[in-house]
Amino acid sequence: MPTSKIAITLDEETLVRLDRLVREQRFPNRSRAIQEAVVEKLVRMDRTRLARECAKLEPDYEQAMADEGLAGDASEWPEY
């Protein structure tokens, strides 16, 4: 996947902690550590958004919609 360079600003304490992780070889460099942190945060946000959307669903309605497709005779279902 292509990458792009960006500039970011970090407070001194965060930078010290980040450099410690790189020194301890938990990450190969600052860039990789920050990249992984951003990806992880985006994944968490996506999961949170999915949970919020799922909470809006009405279980009885969703079950009725799911059952509607099962009402037909199984012999009419396509072979796999």
Question: Residues 44-48: what's their mean pLDDT?
Answer: 88
60 Cβ contact list (under 8 Å, min separation 6): none
Average pLDDT value for residue range 56-68: 83
DSSP sequence for 4-28? --------HHHHHHHHHHHHTTSSS
14-18-19 Cα angle (round to 5): 120
pTM of the model: 0.61
Specify whether the CB–CB gap between 28 and 22 falls below 8 A. Answer: yes
Closest CA relative to residue 37, chosen from 59, 66, 17, 55: 17
Task: Give me the pLDDT at residue 50, please.
Answer: 83
